[in-house]
Amino acid sequence: MSKQPQYFYTSDTHVGHRFAAGDRGFWDEDNVIDGPDGPECLADTQSHDAQLADMWDSTVRPQDTVFVLGDISINGSDYALQWHDERPGNKVLITGNHDPVWGFHRDSFKVYQKWNQVFMATMPFLRRKLGGHYFLMSHFPYLGTGQEGHGLKIPRAPEFRLPDMGIPLLHGHTHGKERYHVSDLGTPQLHVGLDAWDMQLVEQDTVQGWLEHPTSTFYLGESE
């Protein structure tokens, strides 16, 4: 493996979040309750978080950087912050709607210092350049088709989303399986959330391949 620092991208880690753990197939078969439709298992957040930690720890080195595009948990608990703090690498947070440090929340400024003890930077969006191509990073996709996920029709926080000016966008938020898609205006978008990448981080080579060939899918491991 190269000794040069590597860059990775991900979103919606949602550690400690039962809904996310269950949606990703982590269930505690020994913990059954009576549900509205009969017996049902509770989600197993411990196994979810442990598998995610094993993946991260075996992928990222101390000199690498991981861009986390929002929603580290459902409420930004101290447990979620500690979990991310224990992971190797430099971590940059592009804040999401479930992160208390996101500027939409009235008291976000009160937790900023605590969150910056875990993340080397926290910001609402970021512009980068890779292989001669500019791209943006935001928790949210552009408004329009595929904007929300969860089957919801009304977008959350539309006033805080980046305007679609034709710049390729990396995003999270939807929890969908889509990787590559385009906005209603034809702008390429790449969903880097864990749900789209089989609980794996997205490597920078994948992002560069997408930027260089935005209408292809061969570099994403998908059929043409």
CATH label of the domain that carries residue 122: 3.60.21.10
- pLDDT at 224 (0 to 100): 42
The size of the chain, in residues, is: 224
Question: If you average pLDDT over residues 147-169, what whole number do you get?
Answer: 82
**pLDDT band for position 28 (50/70/90)?**
confident
**148 pLDDT exceeds 60?**
yes
Contacts (Cβ under 8 Å, ≥6 apart) of 171? 11, 69, 137, 138, 139, 140, 141, 189, 190, 191, 192
Question: If you average pLDDT over residues 158-169, what whole number do you get?
Answer: 93
Residue 71 inside a domain? The answer is yes
**181 pLDDT exceeds 50?**
yes
- pLDDT at 174 (0 to 100): 92
**25 pLDDT exceeds 60?**
yes
Residue 49 inside a domain? The answer is no
- pLDDT at 220 (0 to 100): 60
Residue 60 inside a domain? The answer is no
**pLDDT band for position 37 (50/70/90)?**
low
**65 pLDDT exceeds 70?**
yes
Give me the number of domains the chain comprises: 1
**pLDDT band for position 213 (50/70/90)?**
confident
Residue 116 inside a domain? The answer is yes
- pLDDT at 155 (0 to 100): 80
Question: If you average pLDDT over residues 78-92, what whole number do you get?
Answer: 97
**pLDDT top residue among 5 and 215:** 5
**103 pLDDT exceeds 80?**
yes
Domain span including residue 150:
7-12+65-220
Residue 150 inside a domain? The answer is yes
Residue 21 inside a domain? The answer is no
Beta strands 125-130 and 169-171 are unpaired
Residue 172 inside a domain? The answer is yes
**pLDDT band for position 112 (50/70/90)?**
very high
97: three-class secondary structure by DSSP: coil
Task: Please name every residue paired with 40 in a beta bridge, in sequence order, or none if there are none.
Answer: 33
Residue 202 inside a domain? The answer is yes
Considering the chain, what percentage of its residues have pLDDT values greater than 90? 72
Among 37-41, 51-55, 181-185, the minimum mean pLDDT is found in: 37-41
Assigned token pair, 175:
């929890």
Contacts (Cβ under 8 Å, ≥6 apart) of 145? 181, 183, 184
